Structure 1
Amino acid sequence: MTLILTRSELTGLVTPRQVAEAVETAFTDLAQGRAAQPHAEPARLPGADPQFVPMVGLLGGEVAVSKLLSDIPGNRGRGLPTQQSVVVLADAETGAPLAILDGAVPTRLRTAAATRVATRHLARPDWDTLGVVGAGPLAAAHVVALADERDLERVLVWSRSAATVETLRRTVAEACPGLEVVAAASAREVVAAADVVCTVTPSREPLVEGAWLRPGQHLNAVGSPPRNDHREVDAAVLGAARDSGLLVVDSTPAALHESGDVAHAVAEGVITAEDCALELARVVGGQHPGRTSDRQVSVFNSVGIGLEDAAVGRLLLDAARERGLGTEITLSS
């Protein structure tokens, strides 16, 4: 039997801490050879707007995942989401289809969890101020996840839209009582005030400049869609992290093929493809020391990988079964 889980059934099913622990374990398993993360190229016709991104991951002895992400900027004009996805989980031993999940909740949860894990391993141990560039649902997921990681009193947020900041403020007030959301006047103000910065926008042009960074800061570049013509940070941001030895990616092939931040920095000659060789799994798995100085600038450039979907998908499936949620079907009937 295959369990079908809708977005409403998945919402609120697991905690940010549970997701972070599952994602961290998956990265450790990848480093130690107990998981696999192949890269698959996006499918797109020449000159066409729609792009379809396959993401595959394998947690050995547990589940295999296949997620299809559609990235269609033209959907804005149709009043539809620019990104939609569906997640399929299969038994890693038998190949039997276990579940089909709407992808919105798992994607948001695992993206914020990967940022949380990266921040745990790369930021200064004494960091205590968070800044966020962007204020949409992904920003809210990041604030909630990082507030659960660290006892924060306030978060500084900048967005082009005051309305999205207000929506973020209400979401955070419900999930994290007592955490104050402060609207910043600019992205530069966010960077100037924060030890840890998250960029969570679909921007085409850089919103954060390397010249603004201070020694010891950690930045998570998370929001760009998997397109080389989108970027949230300029080349100097990645250059600063490379110079500190802490330019970290979730997947080197994915970063080189799908990250606009990386593509522009390489094209401008600030970094090389070889500078993107340090994957987060090596840091989490203890194969790389991570931060060794309080003055290093660290950057986690996140594209998103199937292994993260496998980890959160397994977690959500178990939680749904415990609560009797979802609809069971027999696909082979």
Structure 2
Amino acid sequence: MTLILTRSDIAALLADVREDVEKAVESCHLDLALGRAVLPPPPAMPLPGSDGTFLAMAAASAPAGLATVKLLADLPANRGRDLPVQRSAVLAVSADTGACEALLDGAEVTRARTAAATAVATRALAREDARVLGLVGTGPLARAHARALLPGRRYERIVLWGRDAGRSEDLARWIGTELGVEADVLSGPREVTEASDVLCTLTPSREPVVLGAWMRPGQHINAVGAPPRPDHREIDTEGVLRCRIVVDAWTTARAKSGEVLIPLAEGRLGEDDFRCELGDVLAGTRPGRTSDTDLTLFNSVGVGLQDLATARLLIDAAHARGAGTRIELSG
């Protein structure tokens, strides 16, 4: 039988297993570093006559016993239709038998695993005495990041900014009420950057929203929000140059990250400057932060192996709770 998990199914399951997503994502990056998982670069398929792009984000994991593919549709024209710009679905098959184990809506999976990867990277790269968390961007991804990053860290304050003042105030109130941490809306991305010990950029920006000139030694930055397009980025070249760079997966970043591809095209950095992966840092085979004055950057483009790890967790939770819908797909 094939398990179908809708967006509402997944949201309900995540309420019970959200903290486990971080552990699952951490394990999958270690598996990649240690050769127990496979993660090819995703092919980008621009649709002729459209600004839409489709990506097939595949992965396979021996420890998880799964192979998955998430088909991601990135459709900027959806803004004019009042529809999500990005939509996706995850297909999971047994690595042992090839049977289709599950089909999952991708929205909540993507949001949860993205925030979990940021939490893993922040734990590995940020200074222990980081006390101010900054959020540039105020959409659902910002809420997911605030929820994922606060546990286990001694943040005393969150500072944030978004283009929509009303949404910024709503987010600040939600953080204070739901998460119990003081949150302040500042006047712009520069002010947030300068005030933050840990900074997360969470915007679908094409042009940089954070400049290297605003950064200070010792900060940790998570560049998360830019869509998987080589001409989109949130951090300018000067900012990337100032940082020790860690990527989630080199081949994926090389294929679709503007933070990587633009400095490479400008000749400001070489490929070796981007080859340190999060799994390498977790496994201890490459250094992350080496001193309190390092500026560290986690360039998060999002990878199919994170989707796989989260899907495995959700499939197991659904079976344990009797959640979701089951169909005979091959009948």
- For normalisation by structure 1, the TM-score amounts to 0.95
Which residue does 1:320 correspond to in 2? 318
Correspondent of 2:276 among 275, 278, 287: 278
Which residue does 1:89 correspond to in 2? 92
Correspondent of 2:148 among 134, 145, 150: 145
Deviations 1:12-69 (A, max 9, x none): 4234321111100111111111111111211113552110011111120421111000
Contact kept? 1:50, 1:71, Cα under 8 Å: yes
Contact kept? 2:213, 2:238, Cα under 8 Å: yes
Aligned length: 328
Which residue does 2:163 correspond to in 1? 160
The amino acid across from 2:8 in the alignment is S
Secondary structure of 2:87's aligned partner: strand
Deviations 1:164-210 (A, max 9, x none): 2133235434541x212210111111111111000000011111011
Looking at structure 2, the residues matched to 152 and 49 of structure 1 have their Cα atoms a distance apart, in angstroms, of 40
Which residue does 2:10 correspond to in 1? 10
Which residue does 1:77 correspond to in 2? 80
The amino acid across from 2:11 in the alignment is T
Alignment RMSD (CA, Å): 1.4
Secondary structure of 1:98's aligned partner: strand
Looking at structure 1, the residues matched to 33 and 261 of structure 2 have their Cα atoms a distance apart, in angstroms, of 25
Correspondent of 2:102 among 99, 124, 143: 99
Looking at structure 1, the residues matched to 169 and 13 of structure 2 have their Cα atoms a distance apart, in angstroms, of 25
Contact kept? 1:204, 1:231, Cα under 8 Å: yes
The change in CA–CA distance for 1:196 and 1:205 in structure 2 (over 3 A counts) is same
Contact kept? 2:88, 2:107, Cα under 8 Å: yes
Contact kept? 1:116, 1:149, Cα under 8 Å: no
Secondary structure of 1:202's aligned partner: coil
Looking at structure 2, the residues matched to 72 and 95 of structure 1 have their Cα atoms a distance apart, in angstroms, of 31
- Pairs within 5 Å for 1:107-126: 107-126=110-129
- Pairs within 5 Å for 1:200-211: 200-211=202-213
Greater shift, 40-49 or 215-224, is seen at 40-49
Greater shift, 207-216 or 263-272, is seen at 263-272
Looking at structure 1, the residues matched to 186 and 33 of structure 2 have their Cα atoms a distance apart, in angstroms, of 39
Identity fraction in percent: 51
Looking at structure 2, the residues matched to 254 and 58 of structure 1 have their Cα atoms a distance apart, in angstroms, of 15
Looking at structure 2, the residues matched to 94 and 163 of structure 1 have their Cα atoms a distance apart, in angstroms, of 51
Contact kept? 2:10, 2:108, Cα under 8 Å: yes
Looking at structure 2, the residues matched to 323 and 172 of structure 1 have their Cα atoms a distance apart, in angstroms, of 30
Greater shift, 314-323 or 212-221, is seen at 314-323
The amino acid across from 1:225 in the alignment is P
Correspondent of 1:301 among 290, 299, 302: 299
Deviations 1:270-319 (A, max 9, x none): 22223111111111122113212111111011110011001111111111
Looking at structure 2, the residues matched to 92 and 103 of structure 1 have their Cα atoms a distance apart, in angstroms, of 20
Looking at structure 2, the residues matched to 327 and 54 of structure 1 have their Cα atoms a distance apart, in angstroms, of 25
Greater shift, 131-140 or 278-287, is seen at 278-287
The change in CA–CA distance for 1:174 and 1:327 in structure 2 (over 3 A counts) is farther
Which residue does 2:224 correspond to in 1? 222
Looking at structure 2, the residues matched to 85 and 279 of structure 1 have their Cα atoms a distance apart, in angstroms, of 25
The change in CA–CA distance for 1:12 and 1:195 in structure 2 (over 3 A counts) is farther
Secondary structure of 1:313's aligned partner: helix
The change in CA–CA distance for 1:107 and 1:174 in structure 2 (over 3 A counts) is farther
Looking at structure 2, the residues matched to 256 and 239 of structure 1 have their Cα atoms a distance apart, in angstroms, of 16
Structure 2: runs of 5 or more not aligned: none
Which residue does 1:330 correspond to in 2? 328
Deviations 1:109-151 (A, max 9, x none): 0000111111111111221210010000001101110011313
Greater shift, 302-311 or 29-38, is seen at 29-38
Correspondent of 1:42 among 41, 44, 62: 44
Looking at structure 2, the residues matched to 166 and 86 of structure 1 have their Cα atoms a distance apart, in angstroms, of 32
Secondary structure of 1:149's aligned partner: coil
Which residue does 2:240 correspond to in 1? 238
Contact kept? 1:226, 1:259, Cα under 8 Å: yes
The amino acid across from 1:289 in the alignment is P
Contact kept? 2:41, 2:255, Cα under 8 Å: no
Deviations 1:74-103 (A, max 9, x none): 100111100000011111111111111100
Q: 4+ runs of 1 displaced by more than 4 Å?
A: none
Structure 1: runs of 5 or more not aligned: none
